[in-house]
Structure 1
């Protein structure tokens, strides 16, 4: 039975919310990564924990290694487990024990090669991936010679763009961006003269509202495409599938959290953000240029009706 169902049954049978032992005064350690929605979301949840009486500490953590940190209890939780980017690291940590799946957000995710709509004028066969080689020259730069240029996510996101290009025989050079901001800068620089551009992108984030575009449609994801060459169209290669088109966005928690911070853990089980809510969090930083802490406060002030129910059934 899920945590929400257990709490619901307890309230219905007694007429009052369940009581919890006092949370530890030790800080709940929340990791911070290198994209805006995760940073703002972490601050939103951290501020809610503080409202409920917990201490909170933020640490900058690698977005792949964080699952080992959660498993060992060095970090308490992770709020954005993207299936496409971090599913493999999450599953590996799960298999070792020490952390667990703390539930899904309502948001549905997608992460893949993407282009703004003006690009289609120069490559009308898109969104089919098979059109890319016919159009490689329009994406070429001085840096890539006669090959097309694809700007992938930061190295630590492990998007396997180079492996995808090789396994599908794409005439593209894959360059890794240094940060999410570099991806937005690439799109922004191409916008003025409608230069064709191909970059890594994902949803939910603010970009879909600013630059309408499409994901490249690669061969559909098959479970095992990243570990079994028989999956996907190339029987001799991995990563020859697109990322999941309807991916999950999960939360993960250290196994010891529920005993050490039972009230905060209760609320973590209730936390669930939607695509528009996550996109708005990112916009406050990436477009409105607010600091993440300020953005979190503003988002909370505008969404009290969303977060109050998360806390109300969990206050000791």
Structure 2
């Protein structure tokens, strides 16, 4: 759920058409593959993960090619070996195609990338003074008026995702009977502009948002906390006050073609070690999406400044050669 700072769910659906990349395999088997082919999906965060991965594989002595591919169609290409590995798979946006590909044995889940994806309601820290009890969501029942606007009073105003991104926040508000009026944001850009305007004057604001996102490298925000889920949070049913888990959270997997990993242990060893957290990705996205810097330049700058972090990852690959 996007350039990672665009709506992931919407863009993935839009890009679920056949991936438009022409791959020339020239009859070469995977065991003889000299070039690691990494898919490039539809959002900035994935571009960062892919290029960090590719750069470190190059440092371990491997050739790398980046191939534009849709976030859903890529699984068939990875399963059959046309593409080799993907460092950033958002498991909540790919339907049942991904688990079926994993179950087939053609794709190996190497582990988690290290990102901690989060979706939910955010608010600026000064709102905690106006609504004692935050971040607990139950505080919002007692201080809805602190978040009210002229067109929602006495209900609080909740800015949700744009209408064509779905109705998740609206559905949760209705299920748990929270005294808030969901108001759809016009776009990601409009939502961010409203958030910045409100914080500049310390006006009330509560907004559905997600991370990783460059916003969190630029502004201080807090998250509304929900009741623990009994297992995985189910958004569509069963939530009520006192038993509200809020929103299902994704995991972010690293995957590799199983046969390719077996034939290329050095690549697999580097890939297994790679880890990227929210702080890193948020900061790099800020440079690219807000400051207009070149992706390759920003990634190279991070690589140059963090050899102590990635050096052991590359050494693991060299040792496996």
Change over 3 Å in CA distance of 1:82–1:72 after alignment to 2: same
SS at match of 1:314: helix
Q: d(CA) in 2 for partners of 1:265 and 1:139?
A: 53
Matches within 5 A, 1:128-143: 128-133=136-141, 134-135=143-144, 138-140=147-149
What residue number does 2:246 align with? 242
Change over 3 Å in CA distance of 1:56–1:123 after alignment to 2: same
Whether the aligned pair in 2 keeps the contact of 1:153 and 1:200 (CA below 8 Å) is no
State the shift of 1:253 in Å: 2.6
Q: Which runs of 5+ in 2 are unaligned?
A: 1-29
| TM-score, structure 1 normalization | 0.70
State the shift of 1:277 in Å: 2.8
Q: d(CA) in 2 for partners of 1:169 and 1:67?
A: 40
Q: 2:233 aligns with which of 191, 200, 225?
A: 225
Change over 3 Å in CA distance of 1:22–1:309 after alignment to 2: farther
What residue number does 1:185 align with? 193
Whether the aligned pair in 1 keeps the contact of 2:39 and 2:74 (CA below 8 Å) is no
Change over 3 Å in CA distance of 1:257–1:182 after alignment to 2: farther
Q: d(CA) in 2 for partners of 1:65 and 1:167?
A: 35
Whether the aligned pair in 2 keeps the contact of 1:161 and 1:174 (CA below 8 Å) is no
What residue number does 1:117 align with? 125
Q: Which runs of 5+ in 1 are unaligned?
A: 1-20
| TM-score, structure 2 normalization | 0.69
Q: d(CA) in 1 for partners of 2:247 and 2:256?
A: 25
Q: d(CA) in 2 for partners of 1:136 and 1:75?
A: 53
State the shift of 1:146 in Å: 6.6
Whether 2:308 is the aligned partner of 1:305: answer yes
State the shift of 1:209 in Å: 4.5
Change over 3 Å in CA distance of 1:276–1:149 after alignment to 2: closer
Deviations 1:68-116 (A, max 9, x none): 6645656543323456x55976556545654332112445443321111
Whether the aligned pair in 2 keeps the contact of 1:220 and 1:244 (CA below 8 Å) is no
Number of residue pairs the alignment of both structures matches? 286
Whether 2:64 is the aligned partner of 1:55: answer yes
Whether the aligned pair in 1 keeps the contact of 2:37 and 2:65 (CA below 8 Å) is yes
Q: d(CA) in 2 for partners of 1:260 and 1:154?
A: 47
Change over 3 Å in CA distance of 1:144–1:258 after alignment to 2: farther
Whether 2:292 is the aligned partner of 1:289: answer yes
What residue number does 2:261 align with? 258
State the shift of 1:268 in Å: 0.9
Whether 2:158 is the aligned partner of 1:149: answer yes
SS at match of 1:163: helix
What residue number does 1:12 align with? none
